[in-house]
Copies of this chain bind each other. A is one copy, B any other.
Amino acid sequence: MSEALVVFSGGQDSTTCLAIAKANHPIVQAIAFDYGQRHRIELDQARYLADYTQTALKIVDLSFMSSLTQNALTDSTADISHPDGQLPSTFVPGRNQLFLSVAASWAYQLNIQHLYTGVCEADYSGYPDCRYNFIQSLEHSIQLGMEYAIQIHTPLMNKTKAESIQIMQQLGCLDWYAHTHTCYRGHRPPCGTCPACQLRAAGFAEAGIEDPLG
């Protein structure tokens, strides 16, 4: 199989994706986005992990995104909340479409046809742009708009966190998780009490595997 490009954030899911892509493709590159995210530590960890895994990383400045939206991921004064039955306040409308569109343009330049993203339908957030039908539709749009046979791979689409962790163990890459960033509060070591930290802990507990981040 030929070369692949991974949409990379330095988080747990995209790091799992990177490991899966590396198991499937002889050459793998990564792309990360600087979009005014709440915590700069995310990008620091993406850079660290790219180096740690010897992966070429392109960082693209999408800082325009904060000018389009008001939300808790880019506005440090906003609360992180997730009222029942509503989209969480961290929702940036169209965020994954932007990320995947930019990644596709970069893949085109690199002559890469395999694009990996760690989106997960089983995820807790309920983002519509993490669902399989959206990814399928967008893949078709990109193929038409670029006349380019790109494939968007979503190996975590129906995986639980525990299953993802088990995959990493099977791939011999559990140590990578020591450098991923999860905590919504941006703490390192993680706060352990925010919803993201709790979800991470639950995943490792369910998998019966110790989190190398501690």
Contact = CB atoms under 8 A, between A and B. Distances in A.
26 contacts: A61-B64, A61-B67, A62-B64, A64-B64, A64-B102, A68-B102, A69-B109, A93-B105, A94-B101, A94-B102, A94-B142, A94-B145, A97-B141, A97-B142, A98-B101, A98-B105, A101-B101, A128-B147, A129-B146, A133-B144, A134-B141, A134-B145, A137-B144, A137-B145, A138-B145, A141-B141
A148 B93 contact: yes
Given A68-B102, A98-B101, A128 B108 contact: no
Contacts of A137: 137, 140-141, 144-145
A182 interface: no
Contacts of A65: 105
A200 interface: no
A205 interface: no
A96 interface: yes
A194 interface: no
A94 B68 contact: no
A70 to B, nearest CB: 8
